Amino acid sequence: MNPLSRVAIGSLLILAGPLAHAADGQAIFNRGGQNPAAMACMGCHGVDGKGIAAAGFPRLAGLPAGYLAKQLRDFRQGSRKQAVMEPLAKALDEAEIDAVSHYLAQLPADPAPDLRRQQIATDPLTRLALYGDWGRQLPGCVQCHGPGGSGVGEHFPPLAGQPAAYLAAQLQAWRIGTRSNDPNQLMVNVAKALSDSEVEALAGYFAQPAHQEARP
Ligand code: HEC
Ligand code: HEC
């Protein structure tokens, strides 16, 4: 084969690449992607995709597909730096990212916490979560993340049902700059306005739906 036709065949293969396989989101979740470095998601994110709280591995089940796909691309291009997910995301191709994100989005999630939480703000932590602190130009978390932190649309992910250690790690990542993928810097300003103890307290507040059930 002459070098020219080799190049031609090579570019045909590259063009055909993304169409060469119909990516199966469920198969990727259970067994991993075509590239062996794209390990099965359920190994860390739980057989039901609800995460593994004790290990701080986040819930993916029921998160919006657009948000999930964005995160995978952010890990890949470096606006979200994290040693475990970066190589995994790089090992997925475009079709696989879309397929696994759509699969995850339709997995059942635990019900969102009680809406009554919206109205009850008797202590400083709850006030911060619900109404923010305008002295610090800090909006309430639920103003973007929805009632009880249940998430809003494709862009504002749920906080409810995530492990506390994961939520705290994300807030810290924005503060130190390893996560810089938020549209219009919506989260970096929020995270930087919080103290360390507020980060821990808010992470615990949103991680535990039981917290508000104990309230009247
Ligand atoms: C070896 C463990 C491991 C495996 C396997 C794994 N993940 Fe992760 N994943 C993590 C960890 C740890 C994080 C938290 C990263 C951080 O702190 O930024 C994470 C975070 C994520 C996030 C961000 C969630 C959010 O709420 O922003 C997405 C999306 C994700 N993983 C998708 C996947 C997919 C899809 C697969 C399978 C192809 C997968 N992961 C396999 C450990 C893993
Ligand atoms: C002005 C809107 C806005 C407000 C207010 C806000 N957030 Fe966010 N938050 C976002 C957006 C947008 C994202 C997703 C960024 C991205 O695309 O990665 C996000 C993501 C997060 C994440 C990462 C979730 C995940 O699955 O990785 C955490 C944790 C978080 N916010 C906590 C909070 C807390 C706690 C508060 C209140 C102190 C708060 N946010 C207030 C807009 C907001």
Alpha-carbon torsion angle 212, 190, 166, 195, nearest 10: -80
Ligand 1 lined by 30 (C-beta under 6 Å): no
Ligand 2 centroid – CA 120 distance (Å): 21
Nearest to 71 by CA among 179, 202, 151: 179
pLDDT of 19 strictly over 90: no
Q: Per-residue confidence at 111, pLDDT binned at 50, 70, 90? A: confident
Ligand nearest the Cα atom of residue 158? 2
Domains of the chain, first to last: 3-105 (1.10.760.10), 115-213 (1.10.760.10)
Segment 187-211 shows an average pLDDT of 89
- Mean pLDDT is lowest, of 16-25, 106-115, 123-132, 152-161, for 16-25
Letter for the amino acid at 90? K
pLDDT of 5 strictly over 90: no
pLDDT digits (tens, 9 = 90+) for 117-149: 556 678 899 999 999 999 999 999 999 999 889
- pTM equals 0.90
The distance of Cα 105 from the centroid of its chain, to the nearest Å, equals 11
Ligand 2 lined by 204 (C-beta under 6 Å): no
Taking only Cα atoms into account, the Rg of the chain, rounded to an integer number of angstroms, comes to 20
Between the alpha carbon of residue 107 and those of residues 26, 34, 45, 62, 102, the distances in Å are 10, 22, 12, 5, 9
DSSP of 165-194: HHHHHHHHHHHHTSB---GGGHHHHHHHHS
